[in-house]
Amino acid sequence: MGSLMKDFSEVKAKNSSDEALQRWRKACWLVKNHKRRFRFTANLSKRSEVREIQKSNQEKLRVAVLVSQAALSFIQGISYTVPEEVKKAGFEICADELGSIVEGHNLRKLKVHSGVEGIAGKLSTSLTDGISISDESLDHRREVYGINKFTESPAKGFWLFVWEALQDTTLMILAVCALVSLVVGIATEGWPRGAHDGLGIVASILLVVFVTATSDYKQSLQFKDLDKEKKKITVQVTRNGFRQKISIFDLLSGDIVHLSIGDQVPADGLFVSGYSLLINESSLTGESEPINVTSANPFLLSGTKVQDGSCKMLVTTVGMRTQWGKLMATLSEGGDDETPLQVKLNGVATIIGKIGLFFAVITFAVLVQGLFSLKMNQGSYRSWSGDEALEMLEYFAIAVTIVVVAVPEGLPLAVTLSLAFAMKKMMNDKALVRNLAACETMGSATTICSDKTGTLTTNHMTVVKACICGKRKEVSSSMKSSAFCSDIPDSVVKMLQKSVFNNTGGDIVIDKDEKIQILGTPTETALLEFGLFLGGDFLAERRVSKLVKVEPFNSTKKRMGVVLELPGEGFQAHCKGASEIILAACDRFLNSNGEVVPLDESTTTHMKDTIDEFANEALRTLCLAYKDIGIDFSAENPIPFEGYTLIGIIGIKDPVRAGVKESVAICKSAGIMVRMVTGDNINTARAIARECGILTDDGIAIEGPEFRMKNEEELQALIPKLQVMARSSPMDKHTLVKLLRSTFEEVVAVTGDGTNDAPALHEADIGLAMGISGTEVAKESADVIILDDNFSTIVTVAKWGRSVYINIQKFVQFQLTVNVVALIVNFSSACLTGSAPLTAVQLLWVNMIMDTLGALALATEPPNDDLMRRQPVGRKGNFISNVMWRNILGQSIYQFVVIWYLQTSGKSVFYLDGENSDTILNTLIFNSFVFCQVFNEISSREMEKINVFKGILNNYVFVGVLSCTVLFQVIIVQFLGTFANTYPLTMRQWSTSILLGFLGMPIAAAIKMIPVGSAVNSSSSRSIYLSSATDLKP
């Protein structure tokens, strides 16, 4: 089986090569309906087109920059005429001109229009206050410059799904058979008697088509809703003088957008002001080298990412007028990668289909040979009647229908159905799945490497302690500023305010309701609130000095620095960040008199003890420091990082989230190890980890720098016990993830929120980005976005992942049982009796029960708490486990014995004779076979447990499908005999059929007692969650 599945085993959950995706498509040649089977697979030609567009963009930008630079000296004589419709709308520049300036990096044209200020004026906007908001003016902007949306393929309507369902090759052949049957039947037997068989097949085909189309249409609606959620991105803009958040789709030309590290540039635009701005244009051009954007090179392109720094941007071009809009329109047609499970089940379907095709050909040959033998014995092989022609056609229809039943087209589609159902439900549980395969993989996770801030904690930060002038002081909302500052010199308070208000990535603004609004990360917000508590005035403080240079905080440096130009005093650098790092850069401090004095050993020890004391109370600690750097400083130079004067130490409280401790305990019971990887102080990390239940007595907590110094042998001994890594860099996290995956063969889920977390999120089996605190770069690298930043949601994702996998296994077990029995029954009957007990119409109904309806019933089972009491499987195992083979073979043998017994002894047992005895017997066989499937469907709800009724009434889909199946079976048998070749059964015959089906349940329970290795405890059968979902990367 392994060699047969080779081409279907190379697809990974992330970053599969186009060659691997192409190989399995070619290997999957036996397909009934190409449109349906390959609907949820990647469009490789569109992806190739996107790569060509990126190459073209790269070349265009390179040429544009060179031409623009060369043409700067030829500005004279260039003129621009404003179109009349643009003038009437109140603007002085058209969209095409703006596009040619920014997309073409045309400095020459920009100069002609008087630079960024001139463009702003012509767009009727203010670089400080943004555009003025009125419905009329916004409408004018939309009309002239367009909206910030790209063209998407129109949604498919229901009738298109009906048309695609009709593309099934076997159904087409059956339709031809039905047509021939109608013509021959009417010609020989007249209307309506001669049309019954043909109309029966037509009705069955239509029923299959409409049920299939309805199921597919509902799936498409679910995916469409999820796609909308994926595209929800908000940006900060200034409009009417007020900062506010709006959707990127509401952006208009003339808007002033505020960008910071990790943001995606939402439209084409021009740099207004900012610091240390590095832009990564790889998503647009494929070029990985970041571009430094300044006033001299002010062009910002939609879809690129802010790698470092921050800026204010003037939006010029939006939507389909940008290269990113055109690229996204093409990319949206590229589709998502197929999941490993989809591909593996396509392989299973292909192999079983080949077996079914072989049996179908043999069955047809045996039936035809039987008819020829009869004709030869009668000596009438030269003359054929209409009835005999119809009989031959029926044989062909049976053979084709065996292929319909044998090719389990529903296997790979059941994955899509289950994933669509799970993704919709997970959305309600605050988890947005970006990569389909993550649903499968998360069910196999053995390790979760979690951030601390915002994931395990609430991310609502407040300053609760401070050490100023060597004095430890508590801070509370009930305390007055005067009480806190009573024994602190005014000069120190002013320096503290200057440092807090200038050295920040946040902002304090007045909103449209004239209320103070603090913007920024939770840490920045807490510090700015502390500055206000001290009696400071943010805007007044910012006006006193000029900000010359900013080095934004990132998780590698673990600090932020600014340089201020003070009137008449020269330059002053301010620094804040990780306490021990900033303290190590200080050689002086402000004493209780406000004097700058040397930082001696005893004072340093006192400061370190203060940091440890704050950290042991689970507080996040930060140090603030400053340095006078004279009058000779250039913004081109780096900010110095030594010889600082310590201003103070701040302790910030970030409480642990409610329910985290319970969620960590659930993970442990599920065999998932939770590790904390944080940039915080090790004592803070230990305190929080113990509170969450992550750090145990025998667990190890280590700092990133120490981790980096370990050799391979030491890491082998360390990592299994490693539970906390503090002061870690993004590369420490990446290294840990890589080692866990490769050396220890763990299936790793990683959380991240910053730009620098992208490598670890990309490396992990499942990347989990934070929806609230996460940057757009982190979200784009992630497989799942945790919308509420809550660790408990990660546990929910793991539960849903396990549910998806186990549901698909249940469905596969159920479908393969029907496959085996239907094939063997028709084949053996054809060989031994010369006739097939199940007709084409009946087999089509059975196919619908096991395919579309079976998938609906079993693939949409909601998760239960028992799933999180199982052990995960990691990377190894077979998809169809020993447990499944035991259940399939046991149930198949029972069903075959029942059907064979009815076929050989049914007439004598039920005293059947007369002209309708064969039809009644075949109806009895058909009815018993269907009820065997009904009760087997119930038994398939649990693969190992005896109690299969637990929670059955909570799954309305399952109950509904089962009820509809039974109802339609009664109608087919009792009322549609003319079309379905059935005969109304007596109460005794009905009771026997149902009893024979029901007996399959105690048989199934007995079979489950046969030991083949427990999926819960035995490592040999950990396959219950499949290697394909976890065999992600080489």
Label residue 908 exposed, middle or buried (CB < 10 Å: 0-12, 13-18, 19+): exposed
Give the closest residue to 930 by CA, choosing from 982, 876, 887.
Answer: 982
d(CA 127, CA 256): 7
What tokens appear for 383 in the block? 């003359």
Collapsing DSSP to helix, strand or coil, 570 comes out as strand
H or E, element range at 777: helix 776-781
φ, ψ (nearest 5 deg) of residue 329: -60, -40
Measured CA distances, 632 to 89, 547, 586, 638, 871 (Å): 50, 15, 21, 13, 64
CB 672 within 8 A of CB 446: yes
Please state, in angstroms and rounded to a whole number, the distance separating the CA atoms of residues 856 and 842.
20
CA dihedral 772, 776, 781, 782 (to 10 degrees): 20
State both tokens at 514. 């004239």
Contact assessment for residue 352 and residue 407, using Cβ atoms and an 8 Å cutoff: yes
| CB 186, CB 386: distance < 8 Å | no
Place of tokens 């068989």: 197
Interatomic CA distance for residues 699 and 216, integer angstroms:
49
CA distance 226 to 377: 66
> Has 451 been annotated as catalytic?
yes
- Determine the Cα–Cα distance for residues 723 and 686; give it in Å rounded to an integer: 10
Task: Identify the active-site residue in 451, 732, 757, 783.
Answer: 451
Q: How far apart are CA 917 and CA 915, in angstroms?
A: 6
Q: Which residues does 232 contact at the CB level (< 8 Å), separation at least 6?
A: 247
User: Position of tokens 């004026």?
Assistant: 121
Return the C-alpha torsion angle 783, 786, 791, 797, nearest 10.
-60
Please say whether the dihedral angle defined by the alpha carbons of residues 425, 800, 413 and 15, taken in this order, is positive or negative.
positive
**Distance in angstroms (rounded) separating the CA atoms of residues 208 and 219:** 17
Residue count of the chain, please give it.
1034
- Residue 123: which residues within 8 A CB-CB, separation 6 or more? 91, 93, 131, 253, 254, 314, 316
Cis ω before 412 (30° cut-off from 0)? no
Q: Which residues are tagged catalytic?
A: 451
